[in-house]
Amino acid sequence: MKREEVFNFSAGPSVLPQEALERAAEEILNYNGSGMSVMEMSHRSAFFQEIFDSTKAKLKAALNVPDTHEILFLQGGASAQFSMVPLNLMEGGTADYAVTGNFSNIACKEAKKYGTVHIAASSQDDNFSYIPAQDQLDLAPEAKYFYYCSNNTIYGTAWPYVPETKAPLVCDMSSEILSKPVDVSRYGLILAGAQKNMAPAGVTVVIIDKSLAGREVPYTPLMMSYKTMIEKDSMYNTPPCWCIYMLGLTLDWLEKQGGVTGMEAIKHEKAAVIYDIIDNSRLYKPCARPDSRSDMNVTFRTGDADLDAAFAKEAQARGLMNLKGHRSVGGLRASLYNAQPMEGVKALAAFMKEFEVKHHV
Ligand SMILES: Cc1ncc(COP(=O)(O)O)c(C=O)c1O
């Protein structure tokens, strides 16, 4: 299939802005007159240092990151942060965890190795279909931090509010970062794997309140110390150069779309197109409760696993790719990240209507 015949609804790695990919293609053999690809140059070279500094500055501007916070470009995926957070911030004490999906559940299990985990909330009782309300949060007074995942990629739920807690907020924003403005000053730490709204897989963005660094337990691996990474400006070792470069190109595109405010304006509109079909359908059933729905990952099912499979297969034949739900839950999922154009959403909507007419009995 040709690229222009495809709309990619993958949950991650996901569609990237066409413009960013084209620019990367143009520069792939010779970056800015260096005679070298970004993939080939030293991370200590002036060429790369400029890419690094400008990408960091663009991200700082895009999210309005205050000077109290440091931006880090790390490796090991968002999953490495599940260990790095408790190693650095738990101090062997207690931390609050809100378990609202697969990844917060893994983070919570990992944290138990390093201290006492207090489950502040869980939506496991209803198959992670909702986000607990503020007054349902059970906060431990001694908690070193409160951990949550603001957008649950697999279940298609998103926190409709920022929790009010005394302890610093630690938030996994992997699947919604850069889709809306965020008051970074309210967070102790934000973590996000790049492969949804930012760049290819390989770089993890961490935005940390600098006052929280330096509390790591003594056995913290060198590469997992926020303090070390802050001191070395993410370059204690070779950083994921290509991914940082690609993030810079995505941020250039984002700025032209009106930045995170521009993205927020369109994201709800895009998701509403699909949710409207689901809500007015006799075939499709939503997986997430209406008050907890994600604009990034729309999850639904027909109620018949074979029909779900037929949907994904027929959609793919039409160039609507990667609509199968996560293997752990089945069903269907349309990921509508920043780079998914409204045109793609409308093509999916048209297909959903057609499929319903054809298959509904
Ligand atoms: C919300 C969220 N957190 C964490 C992860 C794990 O990320 P990684 O594969 O980069 O470790 C994912 C992966 O999809 C995710 O969606």
* The pLDDT of residue 339: 98
The ligand 1 atom nearest the CA atom of 195? 10
What string of DSSP letters covers 216-245? --TT--GGG-HHHHHHTTT-SS---HHHHH
Question: In terms of domains, do 347 and 278 share one?
Answer: yes
Question: In terms of domains, do 240 and 272 share one?
Answer: no
Mean pLDDT, residues 77-98: 98
Say if 40 falls within a structural domain.
Answer: yes
Say if 5 falls within a structural domain.
Answer: no
| Most ligand 1 atoms within 8 A of CB, residue of 81, 108, 172, 174 to mutate | 174
> pLDDT at residue 121 above 70?
yes
Say if 232 falls within a structural domain.
Answer: yes
CB atoms within 10 A of CB 347: 17
d(CA 346, CA 352): 10
Residue nearest to atom 9 of ligand 1 (CA): 77
- Compute the half-sphere exposure of residue 165: CA atoms within 13 Å on the CB side of its CA: 31
Q: Is the CB of 156 under 6 A from ligand 1?
A: no
Domain boundary among 222, 256, 290: 256
Say if 14 falls within a structural domain.
Answer: no
Question: In terms of domains, do 288 and 249 share one?
Answer: no
Segment 345-357, tens digit of pLDDT = 999 999 999 999 9
Question: In terms of domains, do 58 and 79 share one?
Answer: yes
Segment 124-161, tens digit of pLDDT = 999 999 999 999 999 999 999 999 999 999 999 999 99
Question: In terms of domains, do 91 and 229 share one?
Answer: yes
Residue 91 sits in a domain of what CATH number?
3.40.640.10
Question: In terms of domains, do 292 and 159 share one?
Answer: no
Question: In terms of domains, do 264 and 236 share one?
Answer: no
Identify any residues that bridge with 285 across adjacent strands, giving them in sequence order: 301
DSSP class of residue 293 equals B
Dihedral over Cα of 130, 151, 149, 183: its sign: negative
| Most ligand 1 atoms within 8 A of CB, residue of 82, 103, 206 to mutate | 103
202 closest CA partner among 3, 16, 60, 65: 16
CA of 9 to the centre of ligand 1 (A): 16
Q: Is the CB of 37 under 6 A from ligand 1?
A: no
Q: Is the CB of 173 under 6 A from ligand 1?
A: no
Q: Is the CB of 78 under 6 A from ligand 1?
A: yes
> pLDDT at residue 60 above 70?
yes
* The pLDDT of residue 360: 73
Say if 1 falls within a structural domain.
Answer: no
Q: What are phi and psi of 347, to 5 degrees?
A: -65, -40
| Most ligand 1 atoms within 8 A of CB, residue of 100, 175, 178 to mutate | 175
Q: Is the CB of 79 under 6 A from ligand 1?
A: yes
Contacts of 251 (CB under 8 A, 6+ apart): 55, 58, 59, 62
Domain boundary among 239, 256, 273: 256
Domain boundary among 207, 225, 256: 256
> What is the Cα Rg of the chain in Å?
21
Percent of the chain at pLDDT exceeding 90: 99
Residue nearest to atom 14 of ligand 1 (CA): 12
Question: In terms of domains, do 157 and 296 share one?
Answer: no
Dihedral Cα 255, 260, 262, 265, nearest 10 deg? 170
> pLDDT at residue 77 above 80?
yes
Question: In terms of domains, do 42 and 185 share one?
Answer: yes
DSSP class of residue 267 equals H
Distances (CA, A) of 283 to 271, 328, 359, 360: 18, 22, 8, 6
Say if 10 falls within a structural domain.
Answer: no
Tokens at 297, concatenated:
């990952």
Residue nearest to atom 16 of ligand 1 (CA): 153
Question: In terms of domains, do 208 and 266 share one?
Answer: no
Segment 233-288, tens digit of pLDDT = 999 999 999 999 999 999 999 999 999 999 999 999 999 999 999 999 999 999 99
Q: Is the CB of 200 under 6 A from ligand 1?
A: no
CA of 106 to the centre of ligand 1 (A): 10
Residue 289 sits in a domain of what CATH number?
3.90.1150.10
Structural domain count, the chain: 2
Question: In terms of domains, do 55 and 136 share one?
Answer: yes
Say if 44 falls within a structural domain.
Answer: yes
Say if 114 falls within a structural domain.
Answer: yes
Q: Is the CB of 159 under 6 A from ligand 1?
A: no
Question: In terms of domains, do 117 and 72 share one?
Answer: yes
Phi-psi region of 234 (alpha: psi -120 to 50; beta: other; left: phi over 0): left
CA of 157 to the centre of ligand 1 (A): 14
Q: Is the CB of 148 under 6 A from ligand 1?
A: no
The helix (run of H) or strand (run of E) holding residue 251 is helix 241-256
Amino acid at 128: F
288 closest CA partner among 196, 120, 153, 195: 153
Segment 292-323, tens digit of pLDDT = 999 999 999 999 999 999 999 999 999 999 99
* The pLDDT of residue 361: 59
Note down the domain range covering 113.
Answer: 20-256
